[in-house]
Every structure is written in structure tokens, then in C-alpha cells.
């Protein structure tokens, strides 16, 4: 399922109107009619009927609201439009629809400024439910002044609110709240869901979401070329590789994990065991020789190898020949969980990245060491997958965490394309970016996964999928989905918090089996996009 930015949607609208010849008024009519149907089955039903208030701006978003007001009025539902503009300033298709509702006798109250709104506010308690048709997807600056007062008022009514296209105040590209934002119970968006609907905090303000078909021709959508996509069960199902009935451990792939040191052997063990749970045929775990006996006790099904270590117990540069030798016959290297941040270990990582004959999945301490050695990524001759959480991403880029989180899609895409890697930016609605600039937003997972070891398990899953033959991009996408889906199963059976990374690892086979057992038809957005 594709997602669009505000600019992509605007381009589709322009080309549909100018090149294809479908009038903007028809698009607006389709939008308003579809939104009305969704409104009646959701927000209006929640309000148990009653009068409807439409708060409208003077642009096309307001025009969609005017169409909704007309359909509601014609159904005998009391409706009042509060226009935050002088009527003379409404133009274009919105103007046509404003005139239509005026001819019908729909009450339209013009509130062009703060003074008019303040005078009318006491009388605006009548509606049982509100329709937000104030600001559309083009918003890219903080809401201030008069409009801020109106949004504050609407939220404070504590009455159900239905948003047209996007909650007013929400950035369509990032999910950021631009100063203040409507908190909607439901949102009808048009043609495509917008990126901001999916990312937090936008998802919390969007409520129940439905995409309304308005008539954008498929060839125009393809020509614009959306580069953002939704990672759903159906998309994950399509990435699963069926196992050959004649498979054996020699054909399902051999993974090399380089991880661990004193005090962090659990990270190494979980990455290795998660890989086996995700289907890797064989796993060899290389760790500092001083902890190898302990790691061997923690990983009964994985093979372990002691590697040359520093005086402080980390991995030494002298381990490089050993690791390169161990690469023979393997298909992927997972690198980083628990290896520490000694300078010499960093030198080893740099040498390995530049010389590895196998795809690399780098996480945790590996990312922190890589942050000071990013130039080595251009020397790599193999695919690389990086899996940072926001703090690690901050160290990789040198930008503050808050700045990166303000636009997670752009941050992930920029790093992936500039450095030629597949990037997994972890968090609520994890973002996966390919080196070609495509981005996927993952729907699975929950806040109960915010506990130690979860990242090590994800590293093992992704590396196992590469080992079994998936491309780096597919492995990252599928691995992230499976990881979150397993967490969702645990939240449903054990409770929303308190389950462990080892619990998640244990149910990976069931999660994979469930995903593979049958085709998962694309769920309607009204069922899956709940905050």
C-alpha cells in the first residue's frame, strides 16, 4: 500500500485536472460524498445523532466540508457551517459548493476574525459532533493566532470530531503537530493515506482512518511515483520464502555472528538464538575467547568460536584473519551486539566492513563504533543493513535526536541514500529505507517491546533472513514486521508489558507459521490504523 507526501498528492490532483481532464469540482464532490458516508458510520454514530457543526477554511479543505454539509442537510441532519473567513474570499470549486449550500438554506456563519469568533463562541455549544474542514495537507508552519484559538476550542468541547483529509494542525509528511492539532476520532483522507497519518504523534490525532477513492487515474499515480509504503501483514506475507521440502541445515544457510564481551554475553546469545528461531540452518557465534565458554553454555544449538581479544576483553584487530576465515561457507555476518566500544574493536569493525565478503547486519555497539568511521561504508563491496534506534541514529549522523524524530522518513532516507545502505530506524512505527530511497513504515509492534534485548533479537531475525536468501531490503522489511508481530502476539496473550526479548524469540516460529499459513488480504485502513 502506497503512502504519499503533500507534494505528491498535490501533483496528482493537478495532473488529474489538467492532463486527464477530470474537473476539480468532481474530485471535491467525490471526496465530500465518500467522507460523509464514513462520517455517518463512525463519528456521527458515536455521537448518537444530533446537530453537526462544520468548521471550514476558505480553501479546498473547506470546500470538502461544504459538500459534506450539503449531503448531511439533504438527509435531514441539522448542520451549521462556521466559515473562518469572509464569504467573498472563498474562491474556485470551494466557492461553487458554498453557493450550493447557501441556496439549500444551510446555515453559514462567517467568522472572519478572532473578535467574531469570540462573540459567537458561546452559541457554538449546540453541535453534538464537529467536522474539521479547516486546514489541509499543505500545512508546513505552526498554527498561531486565530486558528489556534479555534482548534483549542474544538478540542476543549470534548465532543467527537471528524477530520476531513487530515486533522488541522498535523504535518502530512512527518506526523508532527504544528504547534497545535485537532484530535480526531476519525479521519477520511482522499486517494492515498498520507505519511503523517501513520507516524506518531500523527497517528494519535488521526484516529480511525479511511482512504476515500476520488477518481485519481492509476496511471497518474504511477507517474508521480510514491516512494513511501505501508508494511502490513499482506506485504510481509509476499516476502516470505517458502521452504523446500527437501531442505536441510546445509541448504538453509549458515550465519556468522560476531558479538559479545564480558558482561554482555546475553546480547550475543540472543542474536544467535533469534537467528535460529527465524529459520537459519546453522549459526556460528564468534566472541572474545575469554567469554567463549560462558557463551557456549547460553547457546546450545549454535556453534561458538573464541576470537582474539584485547587486554580489556574486547575483540582485537588480531581477530580479523579469524573472522575472514570463518566467513567461508557462510552467507551473512551479524555484527555488533555487546561488543563494546574500545578503539581497537572499532578498528576491527572498520577493517571488517571494508573487507567482508558477506552481507553485514550491524547493530548496537557496532553502530556506535561505526559513527566515527562512516567513510568506510563507501569502501564496502557488500550490502550493509544498519539497525539504529534514535540515539544511535543521532550518533551516526551528528544530529540531535529530536531533530531526527521530527522527520523520521526524511532522516532515514537521507542516510540510506547517501551511504548506500539499508537503514532500519527503530521505534514506534519503525521506518525501513533502502539505498534507492524507497521507505516502508511498519505497522506491527507495540510499546511493550521497549525492553532490553529486543534489538539483539531483531538483528538475529534480519540476518537469518539474509542467510536464507532474502535480499537485504526484503530481509529488513520482513524482519521488522515479524519482530513486531511477535510482540503483538505476546501483548495479546501475556499483557501489554513485562514480556521479555527471550519470550519474543521463543514464539518466532509460531509467528512465521501464522503469517505463512494463508494469504492475508489487505486490511481496510479502518481496521488497522488505530492509535
**Gyration radius of the chain's alpha carbons:** 27
Query: Is 168 found in the same domain as 270?
Result: no
CA distance 92 to 25: 9
Closest residue by Cα to residue 423 from 387, 461, 454, 369:
387
430 and 330 assigned to the same domain? yes
**Is the domain of 488 the same as that of 391?**
yes
Query: Can you read off the three cell numbers belonging to residue 17?
Result: 485536472
Largest CA distance in the chain: 86
The residue behind cell 547486519 is: 361
Pairing of strands 107-110, 79-83: parallel
Q: Are residue 66 and residue 160 in the same domain, yes or no?
A: yes
196 and 271 assigned to the same domain: no
Count structural domains, the chain: 2
Residue with cell 523520521: 408
Q: Would you state the pLDDT for residue 518?
A: 63
The reply to whether 368 falls in a domain is: yes
Distance CA 1, CA 66 (A): 30
How far from 192 is each of 34, 209, 242, 378, 443, CA to CA, in Å? 13, 11, 32, 36, 16
User: How far separated are the first and last CA of the chain, in Å rounded?
Assistant: 19
- Say if 130 falls within a structural domain: yes
Instruction: Count CB neighbours of 399 within 10 A.
Output: 14
pLDDT at 526: 40
Find the DSSP H helices in 278-385: 292-298, 320-326, 343-355, 365-370
Q: Is residue 220 part of a domain?
A: yes
Please check whether residues 344 and 467 belong to one and the same domain. Answer: yes
Q: Is residue 118 part of a domain?
A: yes
The pLDDT of residue 48 = 87
User: Nearest CA to 485 among 520, 434, 437?
Assistant: 520
Beta strand spans in 96-240 (E): 107-110, 129-133, 161-164, 186-190, 193-194, 208-212, 228-231
Instruction: Give a yes or no: residue 524 inside a domain.
Output: no
Domain contains 183: yes
Distance CA(338)–CA(193), nearest Å, equals 39
**Torsions phi, psi for 253 (to 5 deg):** 100, 145
CATH number assigned to the domain comprising residue 211: 3.40.50.10260
Among candidate residues 376, 342, 345, the one with its CA nearest the CA of residue 360: 376
Residues 159 and 20 in one domain: yes
CB 471, CB 239: distance < 8 Å: no
421 grid coordinates: 545502505
What's the CATH code of the domain at 467?
Answer: 3.40.1190.20
pLDDT of amino acid 527: 44
Looking at the fold, whether 393 and 493 belong to one and the same domain comes out as yes
Cell of 68: 459534506
Question: Is residue 281 domain-shared with residue 195, that is, in the same domain?
Answer: no
Which is nearest to 82 in space by CA: 44, 52, 60, 104? 52
Looking at the fold, whether 82 and 181 belong to one and the same domain comes out as: yes
- Is residue 529 in a domain? no
- What integer pLDDT is reported at residue 525 of this predicted model? 46
Residues 411 and 450 in one domain: yes
Q: Which domain holds residue 435?
A: 234-239+253-516
Q: Which backbone phi and psi does 236 adopt, to 5 degrees?
A: -65, -40
Look at the alpha carbons of 447, 268, 475, 404 in this order and tell me if their dihedral is positive or negative: positive
- What pLDDT is attached to residue 519? 55
Regarding whether 218 and 266 lie in a shared domain, the answer is no
Helix (H/G/I), strand (E/B), else coil: 55: strand
How far apart, in Å, are the Cα atoms of 457 and each of 154, 267, 296, 388, 390?
44, 8, 18, 13, 17
Chunk the chain into consecutive blocks of 10 residues (it has 531) and report each block's average pLDDT, rounded to whole numbers.
96 96 97 98 90 97 98 97 97 97 97 95 92 95 95 96 98 97 98 97 96 96 94 95 90 96 96 98 98 96 97 97 97 97 97 97 97 94 97 97 96 98 97 97 96 97 98 98 98 96 97 83 45 35
Residue 493 included in any domain: yes
Amino acid at each position: 500500500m502506497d503512502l504519499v507526501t503533500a507534494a505528491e498528492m498535490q501533483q496528482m490532483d493537478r495532473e488529474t485536472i489538467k492532463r486527464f481532464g477530470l474537473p476539480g469540482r468532481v474530485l471535491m464532490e467525490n471526496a465530500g460524498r465518500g467522507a460523509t458516508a464514513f462520517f455517518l458510520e463512525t463519528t456521527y454514530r458515536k455521537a448518537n445523532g444530533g446537530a453537526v457543526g462544520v468548521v471550514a477554511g476558505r480553501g479546498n479543505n473547506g470546500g470538502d466540508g461544504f459538500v459534506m454539509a450539503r449531503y448531511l442537510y439533504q438527509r435531514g441532519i441539522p448542520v451549521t457551517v462556521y466559515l473562518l473567513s469572509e464569504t467573498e474570499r472563498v474562491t474556485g470549486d470551494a466557492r461553487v459548493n458554498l453557493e450550493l449550500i447557501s441556496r439549500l438554506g444551510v446555515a453559514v456563519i462567517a467568522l472572519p476574525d478572532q473578535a467574531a469568533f469570540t462573540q459567537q463562541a458561546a452559541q457554538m455549544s449546540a453541535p453534538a459532533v464537529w467536522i474539521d474542514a479547516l486546514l489541509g495537507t499543505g500545512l508546513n508552519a505552526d498554527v498561531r493566532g486565530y486558528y489556534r484559538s479555534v482548534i483549542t476550542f474544538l478540542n476543549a468541547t470534548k465532543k467527537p470530531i471528524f477530520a476531513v483529509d487530515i486533522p488541522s494542525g498535523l504535518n502530512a509528511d512527518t506526523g508532527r503537530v504544528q504547534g497545535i492539532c485537532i484530535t480526531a476520532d476519525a479521519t477520511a483522507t482522499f486517494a492515498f493515506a498520507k505519511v503523517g497519518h501513520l507516524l506518531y504523534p500523527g497517528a494519535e490525532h488521526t484516529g480511525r482512518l479511511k482512504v476515500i477513492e476520488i477518481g485519481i487515474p492509476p496511471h497518474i499515480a504511477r507517474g508521480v511515483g510514491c516512494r513511501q509504503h505501508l508494511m502490513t501483514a499482506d506485504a510481509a506475507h509476499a516476502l516470505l520464502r517458502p521452504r523446500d521440502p527437501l531442505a536441510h541445515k546445509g541448504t538453509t544457510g549458515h550465519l556468522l555472528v560476531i558479538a559479545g564481551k564480558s558482561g554482555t554475553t546475553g546480547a550475543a546469545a540472543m542474536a544467535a538464538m533469534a537467528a535460529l528461531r527465524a529459520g537459519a540452518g546453522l549459526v556460528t557465534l564468534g566472541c572474545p575467547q575469554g567469554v567463549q565458554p560462558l557463551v557456549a553454555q547460553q547457546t546450545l544449538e549454535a556453534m561458538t568460536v573464541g576470537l582474539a581479544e584485547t587486554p580489556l576483553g574486547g575483540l582485537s584487530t588480531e581477530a580479523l584473519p579469524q573472522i575472514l576465515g570463518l566467513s567461508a561457507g557462510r552467507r551473512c555476518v551479524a555484527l555488533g551486539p555487546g561488543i563494546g566500544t574500545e578503539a581497537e574493536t572499532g578498528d576491527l569493525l572498520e577493517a571488517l566492513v571494508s573487507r567482508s565478503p558477506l552481507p553485514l547486519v550491524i547493530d548496537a555497539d557496532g553502530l556506535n563504533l561505526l559513527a566515527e568511521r562512516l567513510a568506510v561504508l563507501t569502501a564496502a563491496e557488500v550490502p550493509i543493513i544498519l539497525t539504529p534506534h534514535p540515539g544511535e541514529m543521532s550518533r551516526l549522523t551528528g544530529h540531535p535526536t529530536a531533530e531526527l524524530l521530527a522527520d523520521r522518513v526524511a532522516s532515514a532516507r537521507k542516510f540510506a541514500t547517501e551511504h548506500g545502505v539499508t537503514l532500519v530506524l527503530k521505534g514506534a512505527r519503525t521506518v525501513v529505507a533502502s539505498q534507492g530511497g524507497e521507505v516502508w513504515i511498519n505497522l506491527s509492534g507495540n510499546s511493550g517491546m521497549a525492553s532490553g534485548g529486543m534489538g539483539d533479537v531483531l538483528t538475529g531475525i534480519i540476518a537469518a533472513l539474509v542467510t536464507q536468501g532474502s535480499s537485504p531490503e526484503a530481509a529488513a522489511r520482513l524482519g521488522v514486521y515479524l519482530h513486531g508481530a511477535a510482540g503483538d502476539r505476546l501483548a495479546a496473550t501475556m499483557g501489554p508489558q513485562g514480556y521479555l526479548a527471550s519470550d519474543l524469540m521463543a514464539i518466532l516460529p509460531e509467528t512465521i507459521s501464522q503469517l505463512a499459513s494463508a494469504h492475508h488480504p489487505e486490511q481496510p485502513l479502518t481496521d488497522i490504523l488505530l492509535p
